[in-house]
Each structure stands twice: as structure tokens, then as C-alpha cells.
Amino acid sequence: MNNFWENNFVQTAANYSVVVLSLIVFLSIFELVTKYNNMEQIKNGNLAVALATGGKIFGIANIFRYSIQHNESLASTLLWGIYGFILLLIGYFIFEFLTPKFNIDEEIEKGNTAVGFIAMIISIGLSFVIGANIGS
């Protein structure tokens, strides 16, 4: 049975499954903390929301990429992924805090693509910083 879990195809499928499930859970959490409905806004063509959400998806996936690369077990990969997501979520709140002249969520909901783009870049950028520290 040990050989089964050491098979590259099985490991890839396991990592893939964990990341997809984590994306669903983590995006649901982001949905709870934003003041707008992500999928409804995207369905209505709100590019700012699509950019911000795309950045979150990329950020989460990128954190897991580093986690998979630097961990042997699926449990360690998941724990580092959860930890990285928490840091990414904190980054979201810091971004909101550092812009007291306007509300990030309100601007994104209104379709302000400049704010959506910056939100995307922050998520992507932080994911590289978080990922670089996984397993070090």
C-alpha cells in the first residue's frame, strides 16, 4: 500500500484534490468577508470583482504550489496552505485599513477596475512572499 501513495499520479491527484477543495473553502471565506457577492458581480460583468477574485485564486494556488514543493506529506501541505491563506486574508484586511480615504469593497463593487487590479496584484504579490517562506 505504501507504493500506492508514493506513485506520482496518485500524489498529483491527491494534491490537486486538496487544492481544489481548499480553493472552494477559502473563496467561501473571502465571500463572507467581502461586502459584495463575488459570483453575482462576476456574472453581471464586474471586471473589478473578477480581477480581485482572480488575484485571490492565483494567490491561494501559488501558496499551495510552494507548499506542495516544500512538503512531503499531504497533511503538511494542507497545514502550510491554511497558514498561507490566513496570512493572505490578513493582507486583505491590511489593504482595507491602509486606504482610509475610500472603502476597497465599495469601490470594487462599483466596478472600479483600478482598485480591483491593485487588489489582484496585492494578492499575487503576497502569495510569492508567503510562499517563499514555506519550508525555509
Handedness of CA 86, 108, 53, 63 (dihedral sign): negative
- pTM score: 0.90
Yes or no: say if 128 and 93 are a contact pair by the CB < 8 Å rule: no
Share of the chain above pLDDT 70, in %: 96
Residue numbers of the domain that contains 40: 2-132
Yes or no: say if 52 and 119 are a contact pair by the CB < 8 Å rule: yes
> How confident is the prediction for the chain on average, in pLDDT?
93
Interval 47-59: pLDDT, tens: 999 999 999 999 9
Whole-number pLDDT of residue 1: 60
Handedness of CA 76, 72, 120, 53 (dihedral sign): negative
User: What's the chain's Rg over C-alpha atoms?
Assistant: 16
Could you tell me the pLDDT band of residue 136, with boundaries at 50, 70 and 90? low
Total number of domains in the chain: 1
Interval 55-82: pLDDT, tens: 999 999 999 999 999 988 899 999 999 9
Mean pLDDT for the stretch of residues 80-105: 93
